[in-house]
């Protein structure tokens, strides 16, 4: 796929916009892609790396992906420039069941670099806004600099049909920071969204998910109404290579989207 746009989101975090070279591949993508699915992005000579499709299912003309430069493949992807070709395998995995969210209030909770998978669902819903009730987004990062999609955060902030709660960890604020200071679970409890007729989508590092689930429980959310994505190490994406197993689950086939209820039945030590 060709890189048609790219920009830096935060230190070491970059978004790339990719366009298909082969119309047949693009058609297949349009037929199959639903929000929540992931891909294997690669650079020949370096290998492939797994991350989500960050663009929504309502915009299938391109693929956007956001990644942190942290290993061999992501470093190579970060070196690639506009016009360069990179590889994409996918989309793989299951999806957020958007139809089941129709008519419900939505609560999105994300931490740091986990906003990209959440953003895919957020835009998939905002692009058909009339089908959903109240939309609340709680997003936190370690520092102001680490917040991704700053221009979109600004846009959500301006919208009167979205409530955006932004936070940075204590010490991560800048002198002009006007939003909340605190860890995501605490900020969530302070914001106290109602669990009535509400579905929560939660993405973040394992430790954030662990504590946010406790907060959601305190707020009265049922585990069956909380969705999350497991981002295990994956390689084949086809349920064969054995790398992404959590218990009997192949995350690449049966996930990455699970309800908190499903996750609670998995062996916690494997997560």
Partner 1 sequence: MTKILFTDKLDSCVERWRSAGMTVIGPVQRANSSVYGAVKSASELDLNLVLTDRSIKELFFPQSEPMLRYAITKAEINTDEFLPPSGPRIIFGARACDASGLAIDDPLFGWDYKDEYWFQRRNESVIVTIACTKADEFCMCTSLKLSPDSTKGSDILLRPLENNKGWQVEELTDRGREAFKSVADLLQEGSDPAAATVTVPEKFNADACAEWLKNPENFESRFWKEISARCIGCGSCTYLCPTCHCFDIQDEGGSFEGIRRKNWDSCSFALFTMHTSGHNPRSTQSARWRQRIMHKFNYFPGKFSANSCSGCGRCTRECPVDMGITETLQEISKLSQ
List of residues contacting partner 1 (CB under 8 A): 44-49, 70-71, 74, 85, 87, 205-206, 231-233, 235-236, 238-243, 245-248, 253, 267, 269-271
Residue with Cβ nearer partner 1 (48 or 64) = 48
Please give the angle made by the CA atoms of 262, 28 and 76, to the nearest 5 degrees: 80
In degrees rounded to 5, what are phi and psi of residue 147? -65, 130
Strands (DSSP E) found in the chain? 2-10, 13-19, 38-43, 47-52, 63-68, 87-92, 105-111, 135-141, 163-168, 180-181, 198-203, 226-229, 245-246, 249-250, 257-259
Least distance to partner 1, CB of residue 253, Å: 6
Residue with Cβ nearer partner 1 (158 or 248) = 248
Least distance to partner 1, CB of residue 49, Å: 8
Euclidean distance between CA atoms 200 and 4, whole angstroms: 33
Least distance to partner 1, CB of residue 241, Å: 5
Least distance to partner 1, CB of residue 270, Å: 5
Residue with Cβ nearer partner 1 (67 or 183) = 67
Of 78, 32, 38, the closest CA to residue 233 belongs to 38
Least distance to partner 1, CB of residue 72, Å: 9
Residue with Cβ nearer partner 1 (125 or 263) = 263
Residue with Cβ nearer partner 1 (65 or 165) = 65
Of 267, 221, 240, 192, the closest CA to residue 92 belongs to 240
């Amino acid at each position: 796929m060709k890189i048609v746009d790219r920009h830096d989101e935060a230190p070491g975090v970059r978004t790339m916009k990719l366009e298909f070279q082969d119309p047949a591949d693009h058609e297949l993508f349009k037929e199959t892609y639903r929000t929540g699915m992931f891909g294997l992005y690669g650079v020949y000579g370096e290998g492939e790396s797994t991350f989500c499709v960050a663009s929504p299912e309502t915009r299938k003309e391109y693929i956007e992906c956001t990644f942190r430069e942290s290993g061999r493949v992501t470093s190579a992807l970060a070196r690639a420039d506009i016009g360069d070709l990179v590889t994409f395998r996918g989309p793989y995995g299951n999806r957020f069941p958007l139809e089941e969210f129709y008519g419900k209030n939505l609560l999105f909770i994300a931490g740091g670099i986990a906003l990209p998978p959440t953003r895919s669902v957020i835009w998939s819903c905002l692009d058909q806004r009339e089908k959903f009730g109240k939309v609340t987004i709680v997003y936190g990062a370690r520092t102001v600099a680490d917040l991704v999609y700053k221009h979109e955060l600004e846009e959500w902030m301006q919208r009167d049909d979205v409530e955006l709660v932004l936070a940075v960890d204590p010490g991560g604020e800048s002198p002009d920071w006007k939003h909340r200071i605190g860890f995501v679970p605490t900020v969530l409890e302070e914001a106290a969204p109602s669990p009535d007729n509400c579905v929560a989508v939660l993405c973040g590092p394992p430790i954030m998910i662990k504590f946010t689930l406790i907060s959601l429980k305190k707020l009265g959310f049922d585990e069956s109404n909380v969705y999350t994505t497991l981002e295990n190490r994956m390689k084949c994406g086809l349920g064969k290579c054995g790398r992404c197993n959590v218990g009997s689950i192949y995350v690449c086939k049966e996930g990455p989207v699970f309800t908190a209820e499903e996750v609670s039945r998995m062996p916690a030590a494997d997560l």
